[in-house]
A and B are shown apart, each in its own frame.
Chain A
Amino acid sequence: MTSRQGRFLRRVAAMAAKEVLHIRRDPRTLYIALALPVIMLLLLGFGLSFDIERIPLVVADGDRSAASRELARAVFGSRDFAAVAGSDARAAQTELRRGQAMAALVIPAGFARELDAGRDSPVQLLVDGSDGNTARQIMGKIDAILRAHGGSRAGFADSPPLAVKVSTLWNPASRSALFMVPGVAAYLLAIAAVLLTALTIAAEWERGSMEQLFASPVGRLEIVLGKLLPYLALGMLQLLLVISLGTTVFDVPIHGSLPMIFVAGLLFLTGMLGQGLLVSVLARNQLVATQAGALSSLVPSLLLSGMLVPIENMPWILQALTVVVPARYLVHALRTLMLKGGGFQVIALDLLALLAFAVVILALATLRFKRRLA
């Protein structure tokens, strides 16, 4: 091949092959790419997903009917809740305040009558909201139990976040692992991808090899693409690993299209690798690139992706910020595909956003990548 495109491809391949050699010579890269996510997924997955068991709960039964006792039995029938003695709503509140109970289920008088009449018979759930994560779990679990028990509707004392509703809808047992694994996957991919590429261009500057590259006919886009491809392959391997681990160790189902999961992952990774390139093009030094890379991927994908805090619960300014955080779209796409099911149609918008981010960031990285030493 001697045509222009032929030379373009050959130089991209030359850069990529060289990068593969670097990866093989320095196993730390492989460690960052493959071992680190597995270790972190296990740590985070277990740490964050440990469903709280035997939550002290007091039932204030104001109805004292067969129906109300049956409901209480259903609640304590699961291992999730442990009974705390209590009588009426007032006593229940005292227990809550003292910290003896973390939640109180108040069944009003007339509960059975309403139920028999076929009307809605609301029960009240009081939750100690001082630990938001636990409170969220309790609400989810009670909601799940009530649903299972007979479609009774739980009325919450403090208005619950919308996400709880959503999560319990598609995550019937309200297991947090199901919710966390897709988020953790996005988070790990983001960090590893940005870090890996942030290091590689900065390394060319530090070694002095950039001078040789710039003096040769290799173009900026050829350098960028040649650097990108090997890490993209590594990133896809990482995604495969994280997903297999999620489905085997954490029993996360995949209701939706598996190929679509990889398409979303590919677009996300491309954007993250581009972000790493941009960081290293600007930093020109491995230490700064590492720190800027880690920070710029870690913070947004941890806090602004909807992985820990539902986006709907954020102040509007943060909500607005999440629009440019690609992890947000990947988390949404993965949760949708894994927990709800579906294919391209349900995540089309996410894919579009991920694609847009990838294109813009790669264009920026290539443009900012000046073919000048000084």
Chain B
Amino acid sequence: MNAIEAQELTRDFGATRALDGLSFAVPRGQLFGLVGADGAGKTTAIRALAGLIALDGGRALVAGRDVASGGSLVRESLGLVPQQSSLYPDLSVAENLRFFARLFCLPKQDFRERSARLLGITRLEPFAGRRADALSGGMYKKLALACALLHRPEVLLLDEPTVGVDPVSRRELWALLHEFVAEGMTVLLSTPYMDEAERCHRVALVHEGRLLLEGEPGALLDDFARSPACRQTAPSFETLFLARLEQADRERERGDA
């Protein structure tokens, strides 16, 4: 069964078509990567999956329920780390955690155990009393992640979780994500870094609100290596995606002409 389903998601902002019939599905227990350039529509897609924006067309399903009508049942099965800062800067690490635990009506005992564990694995424990606006960029991201994980969501949506995070923390973060997935969580994350694609079970390349490419990283690379468009012996995701984006731009120019 699919934990996440995007069906023909469409959304315009004025003259900009942010989502243009975007469809993909993420089976339960997988780590799915949305890759795309700035303005490709990644944030809009994630917000659509979290039920945070109105759609002009299409449907978003999480854990089998339509997010537009699923209400709090859907939201209880969802964890979200938005791209922009979204925590309370004047509250401490511990206070932010406690607030989100209370919003999800977590029993006190569960909160104590889980926050201790999350503070441990994110190595935020020494900073529990520090205000969120006094954290470094990387620590802030990890706190946002911890806040989104407290209620043990079935589905975790992460919008560019590794941007602004140092390489060491970044590696730790990926290790954490793989741990969660191993425990059965479904994770969808967006990233502007092409090289992060190969760490996902499946990746989708998004461009101007449309899906250009989707599949298992290994299979995608093999296909590309065999195709005439590839002029390298050991292509990377970067060359693959850039080649596909160039092709999309050429196709559009031809269409316009």
Contacts and interface: CB of A to CB of B under 8 A. Distances in A.
Interface of A: 2, 6-7, 10-11, 13-14, 17-18, 21-22, 25-26, 207-209, 211-219, 372-374
A305 B159 CA distance: 50
A234 B76 CA distance: 33
Contacts of A216: 75, 100, 103-104
Contacts of B105: 2, 6-7, 10-11, 217
Contacts of B51: 214-215
B52 A214 contact: yes
A267 B211 CA distance: 55
A26 to B, nearest CB: 7
A17 B95 CA distance: 10
Interface string B103-143: 11100000000000000000000000000000000000000
Contact of B88 (A10, A18, A211, A219): A18
Contacts of A11: 102-103, 105
B247 interface: no
A25 B89 CA distance: 10
B91 A21 contact: yes
Contacts, number: 84
A285 to B, nearest CB: 15
B88 A207 contact: yes
Interface stretch (B79-87, B177-185, B226-234): B79-87
Contacts of B95: 18, 21
B53 A209 contact: no
Contacts of B80: 211-212, 215
Interface in B51-93: 51-54, 72, 75-76, 78, 80, 82, 84-91
B72 A14 contact: no
B94 to A, nearest CB: 11
Given A211-B52, A374-B13, A218 B103 contact: yes
Contact of B85 (A7, A208, A215): A208
Contacts of B78: 215
B102 A215 contact: no
Contacts of A207: 85-86, 88-89
B88 A22 contact: yes
Given A11-B103, A209-B88, 18 more contacts: A2-B105, A11-B105, A14-B99, A21-B91, A21-B95, A207-B85, A207-B86, A209-B87, A212-B87, A212-B147, A216-B75, A216-B104, A217-B72, A217-B76, A217-B103, A372-B54, A373-B52, A374-B13
B82 A212 contact: yes
Nearest to B87: A209
A372 B75 contact: no
A2 B105 CA distance: 8
Contacts of A10: 102, 105
A219 B85 contact: no
A217 B75 contact: yes
B50 interface: yes
Nearest to B84: A208
13 contacts: A7-B105, A10-B102, A11-B103, A18-B95, A25-B91, A207-B85, A211-B52, A211-B82, A212-B82, A213-B103, A214-B52, A216-B103, A373-B52
Contacts of B85: 207-208
A69 B75 CA distance: 86
B28 interface: no
Contacts of B52: 211, 214-215, 372-373
Nearest to B79: A215
A215 B90 contact: no
A21 B102 CA distance: 14
Contacts of B53: 372-374
A17 B75 CA distance: 22
Contacts of A209: 86-88
A153 B65 CA distance: 80
Contacts of A217: 72, 75-76, 103-105
Given A215-B80, A373-B47, A373-B52, A14 B103 contact: yes
